[in-house]
Amino acid sequence: MNRILRRNETLVALLIILLSLGIGLINPTFFTVANVFDLLRSIIVTGIFAMGVLIVIVSGGIDLSFTAIAVFALYCTVRLMKAHAPDAPIWSAFVVAAVIGLGLGLINGFFIARFKFPTLIVTLGTLSLFEGFLLFAIGNQIIRDVPPALTGFARSSLVSLPSARGTTVLHPAILITAAVVLLVFFLLNYTTLGRGIYALGGAPEAAERAGFNVAHIQYFIYGFVGVLSGIAGMTFGSLARQANPQDIVGTELSVIAAVVLGGAQLTGGRGTVMGTILGVILVAIANNNLILIGMPTVWQRVVIGIIILIGTGLPAIQARRANKRLSGATSA
C-alpha cells in the first residue's frame, strides 16, 4: 500500500517537472525568480486551506464549508477592527479571525460528532448557512478602506530583489503557510491525535475499539480546520487589501482537487503533507503559467480538469490492474 502512495507522489512530482520543463522550454521567463515568487504568492492561501482539507480527508470526511468560514472570519474581523480597534496590530486580526473560525468549525463538529451525519452534507448545509448569514445579517458590501495594519502588512516584504519589472517581492505571508504546513506535518505524524485521525479515516470502528474517542477527534478536526480557514481568510483579505464578502466561496472544489491530486484518498486514511503540497503546486503552475506558453487563459479550466482526470485516472487504472492480478493469482 505504501508503495502505491509513494507512486502517487512521484507521479505528481513528475507531472510538475514535465509541466515546468515544457513551459520553461517554450518560455524561459518561467524560471525567473520573479515567476517563482509569483508562484509562491499564489499558494499562500491555497496552501493553508489545503492543509485543513488534508486533515479532513485523511479522517474520512470532506469539508465544503471552509471557504465560507474563511470569508466569514475575514469580513467580521475587518468590521470589528474598523468599529472598535482601528489601530490594532496585525497579529490581533489573525487571532480574532482564528477564534471566529474556531467557533464556526465547532458548529460543523457538533453536527458531525454528535449526530454522526455525513460530513459532505453537514458542510454543504453550513456552507449555505454561514454564507447566507454573513451576506444577510452582517454585510454584503465590499470594504475597501481596511485598517492600516492590513495595508501595512500587504506592503511588507520578506525578500525583495531587483528585477526586469522593478522589484520582485516575496511576501512574508508565505511564512504563515510554512508554519501551518510544519504544524500539520508534526500533528499528523508525531502525535497520538494525528495517528487517531488516520485511524478514524481507515476504519472508524477499529479506531473506537483501539481506544480513540472518535467524537473528540472529530470536534478537534473541524475546530482546527475552522481555525486554519479563519487564518487563510485573513491572509487572503490582507493580501487583497479588502474584505469582499463574496470572495473565496466557490473555490472549495479546486482546493479539494489539489489535495486529492496529491494522493489523499477520499475514502479516508491516506494522504500526506508532502503529496498535498505537490498537488497545490501542480494546480498553481497550471493556473498561473499557461499564459506564458501562449495558451489563452480561457483554456485554464479545461487544463485543470484534464489534470484532475489524469491525476485520479492513472491511480484508478493501476489499482484496477493490481486487483485483477490479485484475483487472478488467488483463483489460479
Partner 1 sequence: MKAKTTPNSLTSRLPFDSQTLRLLVIAIVLFVGFSVMLRDQFFSVRNMQSMAVQLPEYGILALGMMIPMLTGGIDLSIVGSANLSAIVAALVLTRLAPAEGGGMSLALAIPLAILVALVVGSLCGLFNGFLVSKVGIVPILATLGTGSIYIGLSFVITGGPAITITQLAFIGNGTILGLPIPIIVFIALVIVYAIMLNRMAFGFNVYMLGTNAKAALFSGINATSVLVRTYWLAGVAAGIAGIIFLARTNSAKPDYGSSFILLAVLIAILGGISPTGGFGTVSGMVLAILSIQFLSTGLNMLMLNLFPSSAAIFFRQFAWGALLLLVMVLNYYEEQRRNRRISTSE
**Displacement of CA 160 from its chain's centroid (Å):** 26
- Which runs of E-coded beta strand occur in the chain? 159-163, 166-170
Contacts of residue 171, defined as CB under 8 A and 6 or more positions apart, other chains included, come to 41, 44, 156, 157, 158, 239
End-to-end, the C-alpha distance of the chain in Å comes to 23
Least CB distance from residue 225 to partner 1, whole Å?
18
Per-residue binding letters, 121-160, with partner 1 (x by CB under 8 A): xx-xxxxxxxxxx-xxx-xx--------------------
Give just the sign of the alpha carbon dihedral 213, 218, 219, 223.
positive
Is 322 one of the binding residues for partner 1 (CB under 8 A)?
Answer: no
| Share of the chain residues as helix, strand and coil, in percent rounded to the nearest 5 | 75, 5, 20
Helices 119-133 and 90-109 cross at an angle (nearest 10°) of 130
Per-residue binding letters, 64-103, with partner 1 (x by CB under 8 A): x---------------------------------------
Site stretch for partner 1 (CB under 8 A), options 3-11, 26-34, 159-167, 316-324: 316-324
Q: Which of 209, 216, 301, 324 binds partner 1 (CB under 8 A)?
A: 301
Least CB distance from residue 126 to partner 1, whole Å?
6
Site for partner 1 in 203-262 (CB under 8 A): 250, 253-254, 256-257, 260
Cβ closest to partner 1, residue 155 vs residue 325: 325
Nearest 5 degrees, angle CA 298-CA 299-CA 300? 90
Is 37 one of the binding residues for partner 1 (CB under 8 A)?
Answer: no
Collapsed DSSP state (helix, strand, coil) of residue 39: helix
Least CB distance from residue 70 to partner 1, whole Å?
17
How many CB atoms are closer than 10 A to CB 225?
A: 30
Least CB distance from residue 130 to partner 1, whole Å?
8
Distances (CA, A) of 141 to 75, 96, 103, 242: 10, 21, 23, 11
Count of residues in contact with partner 1, rule CB under 8 A: 49
Site stretch for partner 1 (CB under 8 A), options 26-34, 153-161, 236-244, 297-305: 297-305
Q: Which of 115, 162, 330, 331 binds partner 1 (CB under 8 A)?
A: 115
Euclidean distance between CA atoms 263 and 205, whole angstroms:
24
Cβ closest to partner 1, residue 37 vs residue 222: 222
Across the strands, what pairs with 182? none
Q: Which of 25, 178, 306, 326 binds partner 1 (CB under 8 A)?
A: 306
Euclidean distance between CA atoms 55 and 268, whole angstroms:
10
Is 51 one of the binding residues for partner 1 (CB under 8 A)?
Answer: no
* Positions in the binding site for partner 1 (CB under 8 A): 64, 111, 115, 117-118, 120-122, 124-133, 135-137, 139-140, 250, 253-254, 256-257, 260, 266-267, 296, 298-306, 308-309, 312-313, 316-317, 319-320
